[in-house]
Amino acid sequence: MLTYLLKKLGMIVPTFFGVTILAFLLPRLVPGDPIELMVGERGMSPERHAELLARLGLDRPWHEQYLSYISDVLSGDLGTSIVTREPVLSEFLTLFPATIELSLCAIILALGIGIPVGILAAVKRGTLFDYLTMGISVTGYSMPIFWWALLLILMFSVGLGWTPVSGRLSAMYWIDATTGFMLIDTLLSDEKGDFISAVRHLILPSIALATIPLAVIARMTRSSMLEVLGEDYIRTARAKGLTPFRVIGLHALRNALIPVITVIGLAVGTLLAGAILTETIFAWPGIGKWIIESVHRRDYPSIQGGILLVACIIIIVNLSVDLLYGLINPRIRHGR
Partner 1 sequence: MSGLSTTTQNPKAPHPLAEFWGYFSANRGAMLGLGLLIILLIVMLGAGFLAPHLPAEQYRDALRMPPVWIDGGSWRFILGTDDIGRDILSRIMHGAQVSMSVGGMVVLLAIVLGITLGLIAGFSPGIVDTTLMRIMDILLALPGLLMALVIVAILGPSLSNAAIAIVIVQLPHFVRLTRASVINERTKDYVTASIVSGARRPRLMVITVLPNCLAPLIVQGTLSVSNAILDLAALGFLGLGAQPPTPEWGTMLANALQFIQSDWWIVTFPGLAILITVVAFNLLGDGLRDALDPKLKR
Q: Which residues bind partner 1 (CB under 8 A)?
A: 14-15, 18-19, 21-22, 26, 29-31, 138-139, 141-144, 146-148, 150-151, 153-154, 158, 269-270, 272-273, 276-277, 280-281, 291-292, 295-296, 298, 300, 303, 307, 310-311, 314-315
In the complex with partner 1, which residue's Cβ is closer, 40 or 269? 269
Q: Which residues contact 291 (CB under 8 A, 6 or more apart)?
A: 276, 302, 303, 306, 307, 310
Which among 334, 333, 331 has a CA at the least distance from the CA of 323? 333
Shortest separation between residue 286's beta carbon and partner 1, angstroms: 13
Q: List, as one string, the DSSP characters of 263-318.
A: HHHHHHHHHHHHHHHHHHHHT--SHHHHHHHHHHHT-HHHHHHHHHHHHHHHHHHH
Are 197 and 170 a contacting pair, CB within 8 Å? yes
In the complex with partner 1, which residue's Cβ is closer, 7 or 48? 7
Helix spans in the chain (H): 2-29, 34-39, 46-55, 62-74, 88-123, 128-141, 145-152, 182-188, 194-229, 232-239, 244-246, 253-282, 287-297, 300-328, 330-334
Shortest separation between residue 127's beta carbon and partner 1, angstroms: 15
In the complex with partner 1, which residue's Cβ is closer, 253 or 315? 315
Shortest separation between residue 48's beta carbon and partner 1, angstroms: 25
Shortest separation between residue 255's beta carbon and partner 1, angstroms: 19
Give, in degrees to the nearest 5, the angle at Cα 17 between 12 and 19: 95
Shortest separation between residue 193's beta carbon and partner 1, angstroms: 25
Shortest separation between residue 44's beta carbon and partner 1, angstroms: 22
In the complex with partner 1, which residue's Cβ is closer, 255 or 280? 280
In the complex with partner 1, which residue's Cβ is closer, 257 or 272? 272
CA distance 205 to 104: 12
In the complex with partner 1, which residue's Cβ is closer, 157 or 170? 157
Shortest separation between residue 177's beta carbon and partner 1, angstroms: 26
Q: How far is C-alpha 101 from the geometric centre of its chain's CA atoms? A: 10
In the complex with partner 1, which residue's Cβ is closer, 39 or 310? 310
The sign one gets for the Cα dihedral 254, 106, 264, 225 is positive
